[in-house]
Amino acid sequence: MKNIKKYVEFLNENIEDDSGMNYFLSELIKLNRSSKDIINFRDELKKLELNENLLNENLLNSLSNWLNDKLIKFLIKRKKNFYTKLIDKLSIFDLTTLDDTFEHYPTFTRIRSLYLAGGMDEAPGSGKGWRLKLEKEFGEEYVIDGSDLNIVLKNPKYLLNFELPALLNPIRKEMDRSKDDEFDTNVKNLKDVNYDPITQDNEPIDYIRRTFTKNIEPDDENLLRISDAIFLGMDRTAGAGTYGELELLSLSMKPLFCWLVNLSEGLIGEVKLWTIPHLSKVMLNEDDMKVFVKTLKDYS
């Protein structure tokens, strides 16, 4: 596939060579936006201060903002229509069947992988407890670990080498926080009530920002992207990362299976209100989880 030229190259090339612009316009048209949208975008560009120093940055930002706005509006409208209809139809407490789930998610002919979402930073043992119970119930042949997880991130078809549904456990991807002194020390320092980022070293904040931005967050988001559904261990330790993942899930419209764990067992009210419309199945306790695991194995 032909690549769009870098803007610096495009701006400096011979004016008679319009191949870059032609390709740009063809890709813009493929977005299936109306002619009016494209003309409005053109008029916005005309408002920019077009000089050599600002053109490149302003053009990139304007294009990015315009596309993002159109895409987000589309996703919000689609999400609203889909989940409004879905919540009245799903038998969320019938754990013996997935027929209803497949009916309302027609693009999913089988569930090949599950992403294990839930609390980690505030959870005992970094959230290993319920995840390990779930893995044990499935069996080790369903668990993807170590270097295999890195391969799956690059090539999702590698999942087919495992029993399905394969379990994508973010704890197995990340560093062992209990053994990583640097991570543990910086988290401890950041959460110390006496820590003052104005008068003290900013290393705790800088370290956490670097670690999550470069490794943890993008890898977790990619595991969620390639998974067919989310298996959520829900309790009060679920934090910002969990709810960020659930919002991505709702925009991509994938099934959400929720198991109420630890002190939240049996308490459906522990599920945050924004999450309730997206529930596909709910397990109130460990016995429910075992019933549903059998169902997942049978259907996969």
In a domain, 2, yes or no: no
Whether 62 and 166 map to the same domain: the answer is: no
Cis peptide preceding 165, ω within 30 of 0: yes
Contact 200, 150 (CB under 8 A): no
Q: In this predicted model, what pLDDT tens digit does every residue of 24-47 receive, in sequence order? A: 566 566 655 667 777 776 676 666
From 31, 56, 83, the end of a domain falls on: 83
List the structure tokens of 237. 């330790």
Mean local confidence (pLDDT), 8-27 = 51
Number of domains in the chain: 2
From 24, 55, 83, the end of a domain falls on: 83
Q: pTM (2 decimals)?
A: 0.69
Whether 125 and 262 map to the same domain: the answer is: yes
In a domain, 111, yes or no: yes
Q: In this predicted model, what pLDDT tens digit does every residue of 221-236 receive, in sequence order? A: 777 788 889 999 888 8
Mean local confidence (pLDDT), 105-109 = 76
Residue 7 pLDDT grade (very low, low, confident, very high; cuts 50, 70, 90)? very low
C-alpha closest to that of 214 among 175, 184, 245 = 175
Q: Of the given ranges (82-91, 255-264, 275-284), which has the lowest mean pLDDT? A: 82-91
Mean local confidence (pLDDT), 123-131 = 73
Q: Of the given ranges (184-193, 210-219, 277-286), which has the lowest mean pLDDT? A: 210-219
Residue 98 Cα to chain centre, angstroms: 23
Whether 66 and 136 map to the same domain: the answer is: no
Whether 39 and 169 map to the same domain: the answer is: no
pLDDT at 59 over 80: no
pLDDT at 285 over 80: yes
Q: Residue 168: which domain range? A: 90-299
Instruction: Name the percent of the chain lying above pLDDT 70.
Output: 70
Whether 251 and 221 map to the same domain: the answer is: yes
Q: In this predicted model, what pLDDT tens digit does every residue of 171-198 receive, in sequence order? A: 877 544 545 677 767 777 777 777 777 6
pLDDT at 105 over 90: no
From 83, 106, 128, the end of a domain falls on: 83
Contact 276, 92 (CB under 8 A): no
Q: Residue 102 belongs to a domain with what CATH number?
A: 3.40.50.450
Average pLDDT, the chain: 76
Whether 107 and 154 map to the same domain: the answer is: yes
